[in-house]
Structure 1
Amino acid sequence: MAENTNNTEKKEGNVLAGFVLYKDANMDWARFRKSLKDDWGIETEDEVKDGALVFHTEGMVVACSLMPNPVPNKEAEECAKNNIMWKDGAEEVAKHQAHVMMAVMNKFDAMEQALLFAKIAYSLLKLDNAIGIYKNPTVYEKQFYMQFAESIKQGEMPVPIMLYTGMYLAKDGLCAFTQGMTFFGKNELEVVDSKQQPDKVISFMFSIEEYVLSEDVELKDGETIGFSEEQKLPISVGDGISVKGTTAKIGF
């Protein structure tokens, strides 16, 4: 397919952050901890102080802080509109009256940090009053996020919740793009003016994202990529159309 780069560069000190949205401020810390232990084998002896729990696991620091109010300036509601797979997202998100700010810090490996973030978010979303998680630039619906996070238990990579994949209809076809590949040291990905159906485009994007991250490859200008012997899709690398910076565009 494409070249394996074995890119293991360390970018220490980066923070992965998000906001888990709740219908009310009744935070069941005990159930959260039980899920961490039962679902992921993560144990924490630390106490909840001033509505916050901070603990160390897998060589990283995790901080969860309860805020008994909505995310300010209707920021979450606006970003929920970016979720093309959650039709009533903005309306559902508007019901939140509290949120937990969560952060995973002291990263030594981008993939390990992203997977730990998903595990913590899963356990926070398991609470009955959870609605979803706001992770810029979108809000993921509770069950959607949990379903993909659950796949970590089978050794799978939950790409749809690790990256944002956007899609919109342009004058000459469907365009799709990623936000979040740069966190893993990769170029963002784009499909420009595709004539394929939306479900095929989004499925293709997820497949490419998983391939690039799981195989640690670099898509190079002028090469081709495909998921069969016959499929040879052109790759062009250059200035982004839907996102800023350098992107790898795949003809699909």
Structure 2
Amino acid sequence: MSFFTKWFKKDPANESNREAAERSRPERTDREHGGANGDWTTVPDERPDTVTLERHILLKTPSPPSLDGCLPFLRTLGLEVEGGVHDGQLLIHYRGMTVTAEYIPAPLPDGEAESNGKYNRLWPEAEQEIAGYAAQLLVTLRNAANGLSGHRFLTQVLAAMLMPNENALAVYSAPLLVSRADYLASAELLKEKELPVNLWVFVGLYGGESGGAAYTHGMADFGSDEFELLNSPRSGNEIFELTFSVVHYAVARNIRFQGGEEIAFAGRTITLNRSAGSALQGMTVKIEEA
């Protein structure tokens, strides 16, 4: 059993919490469904108190991909989407959210994606395997009522773009890189009502004189502080798995830890304390073993 299979087992409590989070978003209106003024070719303005997410699909060669099949694929999943390709840009509207995809015939500047590749523990070859990529699709989701509904829909859209596109190498959102094959495999979890949190939140590792440490990037999209685990004597794999398990626990249950909470994993008790970040700016939640 893989690490992700172990942590993505269904939990009735998870299901009820996720359903509550989904119900918390505002009802879709006909105006929102088709874009501004009912025109699907218009990108609506960003509404206050909504979530915006951005991803880059890295392409091997500078060849604009065909995106005409995205909406039919999403409809096979039972999603009532509207939109199409307009002036070379894909627009998709769904429940008040809008996704746009724009082809950019150049890589990200300053070798940004390649530089971050070396920090991706789940894809240690990322830096080498994306080297020389030539172009990208900039995919943006606007007006998600919350991070969970936004990530779920954006993941489905990205999978629809990746599936027929063998020119795609990876999906990138700094500093997270996921290969095309791994992204498609993890996105399948949504069909089983599970959450592919490994596509949404980055867990980074580093070491110091007092032991190993971990930090997260992406929890802010869910209205949460980022997590840190500091000065641990455990191996890198153990630190990664413990940090990721807490991340998955928080996202799946729609929990925002305030500090002072205790949770149990694999027979051990974890304390979560909130304080100023060590490797990160601002306040972070510290994962501490009792």
1:50-129 alignment to 2 at 5 Å? Answer: 50-126=87-163, 127-129=165-167
What displacement does 1:34 show? 4.4
The gaps in structure 2 that reach 5 residues or longer are 1-16, 27-47
1:8-87 alignment to 2 at 5 Å? Answer: 12-24=49-61, 25-38=63-76, 40-42=77-79, 46-87=83-124
Partner of 2:209: 171
SS in 1 for 2:51: coil
Q: Deviations over 1:22-77 (max 9, x none)?
A: 11214122344443334x33465634233211121132111011112222222221
Q: Distance in 2 between matches of 1:223 and 1:47?
A: 46
Moved more, 125-134 or 138-147: 138-147
Q: Deviations over 1:224-249 (max 9, x none)?
A: 32125x52223321001121111111
Q: Distance in 2 between matches of 1:168 and 1:125?
A: 32
Instruction: Count residues in correspondence.
Output: 246
Is the CA contact (8 Å cut-off) linking 2:113 and 2:175 kept in structure 1? no
Q: Distance in 1 between matches of 2:25 and 2:161?
A: 30
What displacement does 1:103 show? 0.6
Partner of 2:255: 217
Q: Distance in 2 between matches of 1:197 and 1:108?
A: 38
Q: Percent identity?
A: 26
Is the CA contact (8 Å cut-off) linking 2:170 and 2:180 kept in structure 1? yes
Is the CA contact (8 Å cut-off) linking 1:124 and 1:130 kept in structure 2? no
SS in 1 for 2:166: coil
Moved more, 26-35 or 76-85: 26-35
Which residue identity does 1:78 align to in structure 2? Answer: S
Moved more, 71-80 or 92-101: 71-80
- What's the TM-score once normalised by structure 2's chain length? 0.77
Which residue, out of 211, 220, 231, partners 2:268?
231
Q: Deviations over 1:105-150 (max 9, x none)?
A: 0121221001111111222222111100111223222222222211
1:131-170 alignment to 2 at 5 Å? Answer: 131-170=169-208
Is the CA contact (8 Å cut-off) linking 1:15 and 1:105 kept in structure 2? yes
Q: Distance in 2 between matches of 1:12 and 1:209?
A: 23
SS in 2 for 1:63: strand
SS in 1 for 2:74: helix
Which residue identity does 1:165 align to in structure 2? Answer: V
More relative contact order, 1 or 2 (CA 8 Å, 6+ apart): 1
Q: Distance in 2 between matches of 1:209 and 1:232?
A: 15
1:233-248 alignment to 2 at 5 Å? Answer: 233-248=270-285
Moved more, 14-23 or 216-225: 216-225
1:238–1:101 Cα change, 3 Å: same
Q: Distance in 2 between matches of 1:176 and 1:22?
A: 30
Which residue, out of 217, 239, 242, partners 1:201?
239
Is the CA contact (8 Å cut-off) linking 2:223 and 2:256 kept in structure 1? no
- What's the TM-score once normalised by structure 1's chain length? 0.87
What displacement does 1:14 show? 3.1
The gaps in structure 1 that reach 5 residues or longer are none
